[in-house]
Amino acid sequence: MGTVTALYRYPVKSMLGEAVIAVAVTEGGLSGDRVYAVLDETDAVGSAKHPRKWGALLRCRSRLDESGVVRVVLPDGTALSVEDPDLDVQLSKLLGRQVSVSAAVPEHGRLERAVPEYEGGVPDAVRESASVDATGESITSGSVAPGTFFDFGRVHLVTTSALARMRTVHPTGDFDARRFRPNLVVDTHGGPGFPEDAWVGSRLRVGEALFRVVVPTPRCVVPTLGHGELPPDPAIMRAVAREHRIPVFDLGRLSCLGVYLDVLEAGTVRVGDAITLQEAA
């Protein structure tokens, strides 16, 4: 049915992350994933979903070193531990305002999202409630999942079939999986596009871990932004909006690629592990 071809985690929210060969999965998601975030003085959680305010975070890379300490590589190549006070200084310079790196989730954990111009980027009711902030961006405000720095699901999966399908829709676009910030990339061995849609509600065995497939992943503006050597491409999400707007809960038809997973059984997942679909219990 499929094989894990890549594993990624993002120790600091909205920064570039790291590829790993194997990773422990707990009920909280992948070990080391989104354990820190950048906060401003209003306790807004740094997210490139608001590119004018936080997009520069994607110029930084976060990783765990051999001792398990999270380090951030800044755009100039300087690597600093999250425990180094100079990291807050350097990130504040990068973002143009006072910010700090924190493992403590604020009580309300405010998350701001730019409203995309393409259809299906946000529910219609949310689009109608958007307001223009000081950056001139039309935004909506929500919150991170309680007690975490995740937007919604703890684990995010994309398939090679979905990416291949999108390459036929937008042939000049670079549908590199990293644009979509997955935890698991699954090679579905040339199957038809978007097979993951049919997995919703089922259980997915991956290596030692067992997941429940919760919902298709609605896509924001982040895949259109530059990610390391991947250049910005606003047409990426226009193509997804044309090709794959589907019903999500009671939110209407949203532009989706990938699925969110919940963890049912902890265990280690490795690149090369087979995936097995099980009917919902």
User: Residue 56 contacts by C-beta under 8 Å, 6 or more apart in sequence?
Assistant: 75, 94, 95
Average pLDDT on 138-167 reads: 94
| CA pair distance 84, 193, nearest whole angstrom | 45
Query: Taking the alpha carbons of 204, 206, 208, 211 in that order, is the dihedral positive or negative?
Result: negative
Question: pLDDT tens for residues 22-67?
Answer: 999 999 999 999 999 999 999 999 999 999 999 999 999 999 999 9
What is the residue-averaged pLDDT of the chain?
A: 95
Domain boundaries, the chain: 3-278
Taking each helix axis from N to C terminus, what angle separates 160-169 and 235-243, rounded to the nearest 10 degrees? 100
- Taking only the tens place, the pLDDT of each residue in 263-281 is 999 999 999 999 999 977 6
Q: Which residues are CB-neighbours of 57 under 8 A, at least 6 positions away?
A: 12, 14, 15, 38, 46, 48, 95
Reported as a pLDDT band with limits 50, 70 and 90, residue 228 is very high
Q: Write the single-letter amino acid at 16.
A: L
- Kindly report which listed range (90-99, 112-121, 158-167, 190-199) carries the lowest average pLDDT score: 112-121
- Give the span between the Cα atoms of 269 and 21, in whole angstroms: 9
Q: Per-residue confidence at 102, pLDDT binned at 50, 70, 90?
A: very high
pLDDT band for position 122 (50/70/90)? confident
Please name the residue that has the structure tokens 């070193």. 65
Confidence label for 129 from pLDDT (cuts 50, 70 and 90): confident
pLDDT of residue 281: 62
Count of other CB atoms within 10 angstroms of residue 47: 25
CB 8 within 8 A of CB 275: no
Q: What average pLDDT does the segment 150-155 reach?
A: 93
Beta bridge partners of 156: 260
Question: 40 forms bridges with which residues in the sheet?
Answer: 99
Other beta carbons less than 10 A from residue 199's beta carbon = 21
Task: Reply yes or no on whether the pLDDT at 121 is more than 70.
Answer: yes
Which CATH number is correct for 3-278, 3.40.50.170, 3.30.590.20, 2.40.33.20, 3.10.450.50? 2.40.33.20
CA distance 62 to 19: 11
Q: Which two tokens stand for residue 211?
A: 């997941």
Q: Amino acid letter at 67?
A: S
Decide if 62 contacts 32 (C-beta within 8 A). Answer: no
